[in-house]
């Protein structure tokens, strides 16, 4: 250590030309000459050390980013279809509607376009030998349910494969609508089904309430029926008739599908289609289902009936993963109730104003 200090002092005393070394070679000394010489001896410059550390950190982050990409991924999980024969179970859970999302705005629950696309994949896959509709739903929109109905019919027509409906805790209204064309309907013994009918929701008129509080409203519209359904004005007899006609047409469509799918007389279908909910046993007595059983029993029945023993069963269920919402979701404060009666009323009105004509059992809907 003393020799090194002596050498450094010698360099500092003669800052331009060094003394000859053992080989007789002299060195020119610049301002950072000692740093360069020290570097030769294995001494690292502080800046160089910092750059090395920074580069190492970046490299580690890149490696972690690649290896953990599946954890950071936001999007739906792809359903992998086998290369051998299989039965597909498509899940219909929650309200059958477009745009279902969680509190972060991420897709959640039943996803309409994705489900139609997955059934199209099954139609085009020769390895698929059967389709089970796993239904746990209170129903949904007229439009979405009818699109599903036609897609299931298309599957049957193009593949000639069997379609079973396995009803879980509920398969009401639209949930039954999409089951109607199935080759066999099997409901869990605790399932609530039926609710065959149509609703446009409850039209609320708060004009009297506003008047009592000295609030006046004026609705500007191009015709007397343009703003019908507004809760600021009473519903006229003519408007009620218009709404009822919409409901009746959708009802005729629903009962016609049930009559065709269940090979029942239309008058019989209308007799039992007053919107009531049926237990599994009652639905069986009325000819709305074929058997009472579990999902596993439905699979066994299909395999035995169509000689599909040995077929793998693939779950076709929408799963969305969002790294951010998974990490922070628990931090979102949950609304445990309305802050006031007024807030509750406004929330009800907002929901009611958006209610479309639907095949939905309101009692079972969330």
pLDDT for res 136: 97
Confidence class of residue 338 from pLDDT cuts 50, 70 and 90? very low
Q: State the average pLDDT over residues 186-197.
A: 97
For domain 73-322+353-360, the CATH architecture is Alpha-Beta Complex (3.90)
Instruction: Answer for the pair 185, 179: CB distance below 8 angstroms, yes or no.
Output: yes
347 is catalytic: no
Q: Are 122 and 79 in contact (CB under 8 A)?
A: no
- Average pLDDT of the chain is 81
Say what the pLDDT of residue 13 is.
54
Q: In this model, does residue 4 exceed pLDDT 60?
A: no
Choice between 149 and 30, residue whose per-residue pLDDT is larger: 149
Q: Out of 8, 39, 158, 226, which one is annotated catalytic?
A: 226
pLDDT, position 34: 45
Tokens of 216: 């006046």
pLDDT of residue 71: 47
pLDDT, tens digit (0-9, with 9 covering 90-100), for 311-321? 999 999 998 87
Decide: 229 and 214 in contact? Cβ < 8 Å: no
Listed by start position, the domains of the chain span 29-72, 73-322+353-360
Clarify whether 325 is annotated catalytic.
Answer: no
What φ, ψ does residue 154 adopt, rounded to 5°? -65, -40
* 305 vs 162: CA distance, rounded Å: 9
Q: Supply the pLDDT for residue 124.
A: 97
Taking the C-alpha atoms of residue 278 and residue 280, their distance in angstroms, rounded to an integer, is 6
The separation between CA 173 and the C-alpha centre of its own chain, rounded to angstroms, equals: 21
> 38 burial class (0-12, 13-18, 19+ CB within 10 angstroms)?
middle
Q: What is the percent of the chain with per-residue pLDDT over 90, rounded to a whole number?
A: 50
pLDDT of residue 280: 98
pLDDT in tens, 109-136: 899 999 999 999 999 999 999 999 999 9
pTM here is: 0.72
Condensed to tens digits (0 to 9), the pLDDT of residues 347-363 reads 655 555 555 678 888 77
Residue of 365 and 252 predicted with greater confidence: 252
- Tell which residue, 21, 17, 12, has the closest CA to residue 29: 17
pLDDT tens-digit map of 23-47: 666 655 555 544 444 444 545 556 6
Predicted confidence at residue 129, as pLDDT, reads 98
SS3 257: helix
* 129-143, 219-233, 296-310: segment of lowest average pLDDT: 219-233
Active-site residue among 137, 165, 166, 173? 173
Does 303 score more than 80 pLDDT? yes
Torsions phi, psi of 288, nearest 5? -85, -20
């Amino acid at each position: 250590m003393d020799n090194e200090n002596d050498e450094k002092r010698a360099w500092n005393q003669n800052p331009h030309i060094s003394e000859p070394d053992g080989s007789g070679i002299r060195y020119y000394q610049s301002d950072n000459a000692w740093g360069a010489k020290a570097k030769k001896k294995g001494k690292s410059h502080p800046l160089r050390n910092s750059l090395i550390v920074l580069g190492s950190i970046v490299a580690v982050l890149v490696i972690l980013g690649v290896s953990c990409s599946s954890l950071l991924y936001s999007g739906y999980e792809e359903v992998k279809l086998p290369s051998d024969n299989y039965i597909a179970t498509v899940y219909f859970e929650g309200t059958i509607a477009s745009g279902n999302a969680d509190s972060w705005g991420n897709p959640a629950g039943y996803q309409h376009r994705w489900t139609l696309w997955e059934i199209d994949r099954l139609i085009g896959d020769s390895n698929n030998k059967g389709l089970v509709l796993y239904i746990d739903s209170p129903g949904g929109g007229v439009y979405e349910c009818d699109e599903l109905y036609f897609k299931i019919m298309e599957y049957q027509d193009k593949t000639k494969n069997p379609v079973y409906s396995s009803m879980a805790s509920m398969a009401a209204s639209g949930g039954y609508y999409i089951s109607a064309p199935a080759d066999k309907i099997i409901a869990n013994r605790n399932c609530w089904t039926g609710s065959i009918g149509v609703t446009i929701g409850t039209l609320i008129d708060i004009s009297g309430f506003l008047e009592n509080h000295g609030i006046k409203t004026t609705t500007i519209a191009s015709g007397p029926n343009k703003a019908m359904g507004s809760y600021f004005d009473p519903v006229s007899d003519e408007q009620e008739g218009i709404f009822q006609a919409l409901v009746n047409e959708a009802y005729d469509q629903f009962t016609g599908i049930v009559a065709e799918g269940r090979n029942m007389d239309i008058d019989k279908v209308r007799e039992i289609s007053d919107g009531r909910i049926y237990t599994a046993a009652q639905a069986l007595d009325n000819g709305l289902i074929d058997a009472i059983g579990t999902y596993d029993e439905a699979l066994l029945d299909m395999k035995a009936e169509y000689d599909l023993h040995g077929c793998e069963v693939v779950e076709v269920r929408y799963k969305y993963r969002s790294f951010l919402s998974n990490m922070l979701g628990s931090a979102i404060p949950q609304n445990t109730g309305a802050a006031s009666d007024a807030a509750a009323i406004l929330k009800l009105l907002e929901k009611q104003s958006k209610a479309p004509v639907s095949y939905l059992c309101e009692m079972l809907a969330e």
